[in-house]
Amino acid sequence: MSASFSREVVLDRIRRATPGAAASGAALAEAYGAQPQNYIRCGAMSAGERVELMMQRLREYDAEVVECAAEELARTIATQLAASGRWRFVAPPGLPSEWLAAGFDWRIDEGLTAAEIEGAEGVVTAAFCGVADSGTIVLHHSASEGRRVLTLLPDWHLCILRASQVVETLPEYFSRCAAREQGSGVRDQESGNEGTREQGNEKMGTEGRWTREERTKRLPSLVTWISGPSATADIEMTRIKGVHGPRFLHVILVKD
Amino acid sequence: MSAAGEQLGGRAILDPALAPPFPVAALAVLRDPQLRKNVAHAIDVIQGKRARLVAEKPDWQALRAAASWIKDEALRNLGLYLEEFEARCTAAGGVVHWAADAAEARRIILDLLREEKASEVIKIKTMTSAEIQLNPFLEAAGIGVYETDLAEIILQLGEGEPSHIVVPALHVNRSQVREIFARRMGIRDLPDDPQALTAAARQYLRGKFLRVPTAISGANFLIAETGSVAVVESEGNGRMCLTLPRTLITLAGIEKVLPRFQDLEVMLQVLARSATGERMNPYTSLWSGVTAGDGPERFHVVLLDNGRTGILARERERQTLRCIRCAACMNACPVYRQTGGHAYGSVYPGPIGAILTPQLEQLRHSQSLPYASSLCGACFEVCPVKINIPEVLIDLRAQVTDRQRRRAGRFFDPLYLGLRAANLIFARAWLFHGAQWMGRMGLRLFTRKDGWIHALPGVGGKWTETRDLRGLPQQTFHEWWAARKTGTEGTREQGNKRAEAK
Ligand code: SF4
C-alpha cells in the first residue's frame, strides 16, 4: 500500500462511518457553540487567596516555596541559590540580568549542548502562568522560560512566578492563552475576583471567540505543565520524588 | 494480526489471537495469592486517592459531561479534524503518516528508523505500540528498543507483560523489582526500597537519553486546531524522549484527536484525577511540529486505524472510542480486582479491554471478554468520558451469540438446545403448564423429607454440586390464584370475612 493510498482508505472509512459529519470546517465552529460549559471556568477567590492556594498546592507536591516583594526579588534569588549549596547554574538568554546573582558560575543558554546543560547543578527561569487549583506551573518556553531541555536536565529548578501570573482554575489559563500574543512576557490582567462566578464564566466564554485561524496563530506551540517535581509511583504505589526530571523544584512567588 | 505473536516471538499471552479464553486464563491468577495481593494493594491506593480528589471537585459531573461531549464531537467529525490536524502539523514541520492496520504502522515506523540508520530507539510508554506489537517486531529487525517508563523497564528487563494501562507493573512488588534490577543491571547489593530502585533506573537510563538519537512516543491528545500533540506523564522520561533525540516518531490512534487547544482545560482536569488520583500529573508536554533550536529536528506522526473505523461505524459501540485510557474503570472493577490484567489476553485489560479488544479484533478473537463482567456498572460510574461500558458489553454479548448461532455445531450444544426448548415452552400456556407438572413430578423423586434437593443427576448436578435446591411447592402460583379467585372482588375486609365464614 502506498502512503497516500492508506490515507484515502482510512479517511474514506471514516467518512462512511460518520454520515452525520459536517460538510466543511465552517460548520464545525457552529457545532462548537453547543458545547456544555457549565463546569467551573472562572475562579471565585481574591488575589491573596489565590496565591495562598498556589503556595499550599506547590508545597503538597514537595516543592519549596518562598514569597517576596518585587524589590527584594534579586536578593531572594541570591539567598535561594546560596542555600542550595550549588554553584554551577544555567539560565535562559531572556532572564533579566539582575536575577543572575553574583558569586555563582552562570552559563547562559545560547545553544548549550545537552552535555553542558547536564553538567549544571541547577537552572533559574521565569514562567508563563501558575494554576492555583492544581499547583501547576506552565512554561511556554519563551526567552525567559528557556528551551524545554533547560528545565529538564539540571536536578534543581528555581522558578520565578509573579502573583499576577497566578490564576485559580485551569480554564482561566486557557483563556489567557487565547487572549494574548504567544510568549509575550510576564504581566497580564487580573481576572476572576470581580462579579460572581457566573458572570465570570460568561465573560470568559466570549473572550475566547476567535476565528479558528486567529486562534491557531495565537496559541502557543510549545507548552510544559509542571505539577511538582518529577515523580513515580510505579513500585507498590509509593510516591518517589525525582526520577528523570529535576528532583528539586523551588518557587519564588513575587508579590506585584 | 493472527499468529503475529508466534512470528514475533514471546508476548503471546497478550495476543488476542493466541490467548486462552478469559475464565481459563483467570484461573492461574486466582491461584496466585501474591499476585492478587499486589494487584489489590495497588488498586486500593489509587482508588482511595481518586475518590478523595473527585470529591473535592464540585463540578465533577459537569466536567464529565463536557469531556464526553468533546470526544463525541471529535468523533462525529473525525475526518475533518484529522485533516485539520494533518494540515497544521505539516505546516509546523511535522510529517503525518496514515496506517490502515497494525502491520502497516509497524512497517512505516521501521522504514523511518532505517532512513535514520537507527540501531537503537528510546520509548515512552505507549499502549498503542503494545497493541501493534511494535517492540518484538523492531527487535526482530535488529533494532535495540529501550523502554524508559519505570514500570515498562521492570517489565522489559523482567520479560513480563503489562497488566494495567496506567501502572503496567502493578502486579510486581518491590522485592521482585529488586531481583530483576539486580540481575539485569548487574548491581549486586541493591536494597529493595522503592527509592533505591528508582535511583537505579535513573542511573540505567541517563546515558541512553543523552546518547540515543531516535525516540518513539504515543500521544494522549492530538489537537486539530494547532496540529499539536500532548503527552501526559509523571517521571520526566517522556520529556527526555520528546526533547533530546534528533528524530521523534509519535504513534497515535485516530481517535486521539481533539478539536481545540482549549479542550485540554477539561481533559487535563479529568485525566490525572481519574488515572493516578492526582490533581495534575507532574509533567504534561505539548508541541507542534518542529521548533528550531528546541527539541527534535525531525518529527513524524503515524495515525493508526487498526479496527477503529469499524467501531466508529456502529452507533452504540462508537462511545468506546471516547476512552482516554485513564484506567479508572479497571481500578473500580470487582472482576479485574480478582483476576488482574493478564487474564484479559490483551494489552487492554479491565472493563475497557473487555469492550475494546473484541471490537478491534472484529470478534474473531476475545469472544469470552464481553462476559468477563458482572455488569455491576462501577466502570460506567467512574468513567470520566461517561462510556456506558455495561451497555456495550451486553450489545457485544448479543453479537457473540449471533455469530455462534450461525455455527452448525450448536445443535449438539446442551445449553443451546435447552434454551431452544425453553423458548418453545414459554410461548405456549398449555405446554408451560404441562412442563411445570412434569417438572414437579420428576423433582419429587429427588426431594428429601426436609423439603430440599441435595443432589441431581446430569446437568442439574452442576447446580447441586455447590448448593442445595429447594423442592418445588405442591401448588403453583397459577393454581393458587385460580383457587382463591372468589376472594379477589370487594375490599380486603369483605374478603377476610368471607374467608372466616368458610
Ligand atoms: S473506559 Fe473510561 S474509565 Fe476506562 S480507561 Fe477509558 S476513559 Fe478511563
What distance in Å separates the CA atoms of residue B215 and residue B113, rounded to the nearest whole number? 10
Residue A75 lies in a domain: yes
* Contact assessment for residue A143 and residue A185, using Cβ atoms and an 8 Å cutoff: no
- Weakest-pLDDT range from A11-20, A196-205, B417-426: A196-205
Record the cell numbers describing residue A255, joined without a space.
Answer: 508579590
* The pLDDT value given to residue A218: 78
* The pLDDT value given to residue B414: 78
Look at B88 and A177 and tell me if their CB atoms are within 8 Å.
no
CA of B277 to the centre of ligand 1 (A): 14
* The pLDDT value given to residue A35: 81
* The pLDDT value given to residue B9: 35
CATH code for position A251 = 3.40.50.10420
**Which residue, B129, B126, B128, is CA-closest to B151?**
B126
> Pairing relation of β-strands B469-470 and A231-232?
unpaired
Nearest chain B Cα to A141, which residue? Answer: B294
**Which residue, B134, B64, B48, is CA-closest to B99?**
B134
- Residue-wise pLDDT for A150-209, tens only, equals 999 999 999 999 999 999 999 999 989 877 543 333 333 444 344 566 666 666 654 444
The secondary element (H helix, E strand) that includes residue B434 is helix B429-444
Q: What is the mean pLDDT of residues B354-382?
A: 94
The secondary element (H helix, E strand) that includes residue B274 is helix B264-276
- Weakest-pLDDT range from A83-97, A193-207, A242-256, B119-133: A193-207
Question: Cell 501526559 maps to which residue?
Answer: B232
Neighbours of B386 (CB within 10 A): 19
Question: Cell 398449555 maps to which residue?
Answer: B430
pLDDT higher than threshold 80 for residue A78 = yes
Contacts of B84 in chain A (CB under 8 A): 25
What distance in Å separates the CA atoms of residue B20 and residue B250, rounded to the nearest whole number? 32
Domain boundaries, chain B: 5-311, 414-501
* The pLDDT value given to residue A216: 66
* The pLDDT value given to residue B416: 79
* Domain carrying residue A114: 47-169+222-231+239-255
What distance in Å separates the CA atoms of residue B301 and residue B109, rounded to the nearest whole number? 10
What is the total count of domains within chain A? 1
Residue A248 lies in a domain: yes
Record the cell numbers describing residue A152, joined without a space.
Answer: 529538564
**Phi, psi for B251 (deg, rounded to 5):** -105, 125
* The pLDDT value given to residue A208: 45
> Is residue B279 less than 8 Å (CB to CB) from chain A?
yes
- Domain B5-311: which topology? Rossmann fold (3.40.50)
Q: Please, which residues bridge with residue A105 across strands?
A: A88
* The pLDDT value given to residue A186: 36
What does the mean pLDDT of chain A come to?
86
CA of B385 to the centre of ligand 1 (A): 7
- Residue-wise pLDDT for B309-322, tens only, equals 999 999 999 999 99
pLDDT higher than threshold 70 for residue A38 = yes
CA of B116 to the centre of ligand 1 (A): 36
Size of chain B in residues: 502
* Contact assessment for residue B240 and residue B209, using Cβ atoms and an 8 Å cutoff: yes
What distance in Å separates the CA atoms of residue B349 and residue B341, rounded to the nearest whole number? 5
* Contact assessment for residue B215 and residue B248, using Cβ atoms and an 8 Å cutoff: yes
- Residue-wise pLDDT for B126-142, tens only, equals 999 999 999 999 999 99
DSSP string across B479-493: HHHHHTGGGGSS-HH
* The pLDDT value given to residue A103: 94
* The pLDDT value given to residue A196: 60
pLDDT higher than threshold 90 for residue A13 = yes
* The pLDDT value given to residue A205: 52
SS3 A250: strand
* The pLDDT value given to residue B386: 98
Residue closest by Cα to atom 8 of ligand 1: B326
Residue A9 lies in a domain: no
What distance in Å separates the CA atoms of residue B2 and residue A64, rounded to the nearest whole number? 53
* The pLDDT value given to residue A193: 43
* The pLDDT value given to residue A27: 74
Q: What share of chain B is helix, strand, coil (3-state, %, to 5)?
A: 55, 10, 30
Q: At what angle do helices B194-211 and B150-157 cross, to 10 degrees?
A: 90
Residue A130 lies in a domain: yes
B positions 143-182 inside 8 Å of A (CB): 148-151, 154, 167, 169-170, 173-174, 177
Closest approach atom of ligand 1 to CA B326: 8
**Which residue, B112, B51, B77, is CA-closest to B249?**
B112
- Residue-wise pLDDT for B194-224, tens only, equals 899 999 998 899 989 999 999 999 999 999 9
Residue A69 lies in a domain: yes
Tell me, what's the ipTM? Answer: 0.90
Residue B500: which pLDDT band, with cuts at 50, 70 and 90? low
* The pLDDT value given to residue A188: 39
Question: Cell 535562559 maps to which residue?
Answer: A92
* The pLDDT value given to residue B3: 35
Instruction: Let me know the angle formed at the C-alpha of B125 by B120 and B129, rounded to the nearest 5 degrees.
Output: 75
What does the mean pLDDT of chain B come to?
90
